[in-house]
Structure 1
Amino acid sequence: MPASDKAPSAQPGVVVDPYRAYNFKLIDHGLMQAAFTRVEGLAIIVNRALFRAGGENSVVRAIPMQVSYPPVKLWYGVTDSDELLRWLFTAVKGRVERRDVSLALLNEAGTDHVRRWDFFGAWPCEWHGTPLDALGDELAIESLTLAFDRLELADDGNQAP
């Protein structure tokens, strides 16, 4: 996004509203595969080692160690598309199909990416089907959990990996 199109940055006396958490999409090879209702677990964990430098007994320092990426859980409405389940069943059959996918946070109008996280080497590792209840009237929502090798913040918010 060109600098002239960006929202104003926070400055003293200027209120900049945060983006809404409900406007997002998952991008897989440039196509959105499902209408997602929720995403949970977006995180990076940098493990640390604590040590005391020689002669500085009152100071405990931390140095970064291994980086880990917890799986991300996606909730989506059941539709005619079974692409996500077919992807899962390749892993069930022992053939993990790794894909590069992105999670894009959209502006309030839903037209532009304002932030995008790129997941490299993603593959489905867990699925939970929708509860079925003949007396209920809720939407059919199931969840898919993705494991991945690496997570990066995209340099520009508009291009998929």
Structure 2
Amino acid sequence: MPPSPQRARADPQRTGSAGGEHSPDHLGGGLQTANVFMFEVVGVKIGAFREVSGLSVTLNTEDIVEGGQNSYVLKVPGRMSWADITFKRGVTNTDALFEWFWKTSGEGFAKGNDKIVRRDGAISAYSMDGKRIREWTIKGTIPISWKGPDFGVDKADALEEELVISHLGFRTAPNRSQA
């Protein structure tokens, strides 16, 4: 016999209120705040960043107009388009970012017989208490831009640097324990 409506509402197994696979938290209802974002390339930590933007993908479509079909235009999927990803942080004294940048450009590029060597990377979001919230694996990254701080004696702004990467796509990674 099915449970009564009152019983079903109170039953956490049915409503998902106990954090099960259909709970609001599991499905994105519980908003989490990330305090820092770690970017690494082939296991080498490039740095911790305070802001990441451009983690997006667009599925391009083609319109197919069928003769005699005036009710709709058929959209068929085409190529995926991946946006460049931008990282921002305060200036640091670590050189991991620059070492990676120089290996993929200028003399580093020439030493590699002028071949682009794309490396896989990962972006991890961490909560204020240092727990990993989510991770994305990034395929075939290369740095395409770096911008340093703007200096001025009349500026009170924090010194900030910006890194932009190009990539061949990303996937969400399974949740790992705290790193």
Coarse TM-score class (shorter-chain normalised): 0.7 to 0.9
Aligned residue runs from structure 1 range 61-80, under 5 A: 61-80=74-93
Unaligned runs of 5+ in 1: 1-5
CA 1:30–1:92: 2 relative to 1, 3 Å = closer
Contact 1:91 1:125 in 2 (8 A): no
What are the ranges of 5 or more consecutive residues in structure 2 without an aligned counterpart?
1-17, 110-115
Is the helix fraction higher in 1 or 2? 2
TM score, norm. by length of structure 2: 0.71
CA offset at residue 31 of structure 1?
4.5
Measured at CA, do residues 83 and 145 of structure 1 come closer, stay the same or move farther in structure 2, by a change above 3 Å? same
Structure 1 pair 146–83 and aligned structure 2 pair: CA distance change class (3 A): same
Higher alpha-carbon Rg? 2
Identity, % of aligned pairs? Answer: 25
SS for the counterpart of 2:97 is: helix
Q: Do residues 144 (structure 1) and 168 (structure 2) align? A: no
Indicate the structure whose relative CO is greater, using CA pairs within 8 Å and at least 6 residues apart.
1
Runs of 4+ off more than 4 Å: none
Deviation per CA, 1:15-51: give whole Å up to 9, x if none.
9421114443223333433221211111111100111
Aligned pair partner of 2:124 in 101, 104, 117: 104
Mapped pair 1:84 → 2:97: yes
Q: Aligned pairs, how many? A: 149
TM-score (norm 1): 0.78
What's the secondary structure of 1:89's corresponding residue?
helix
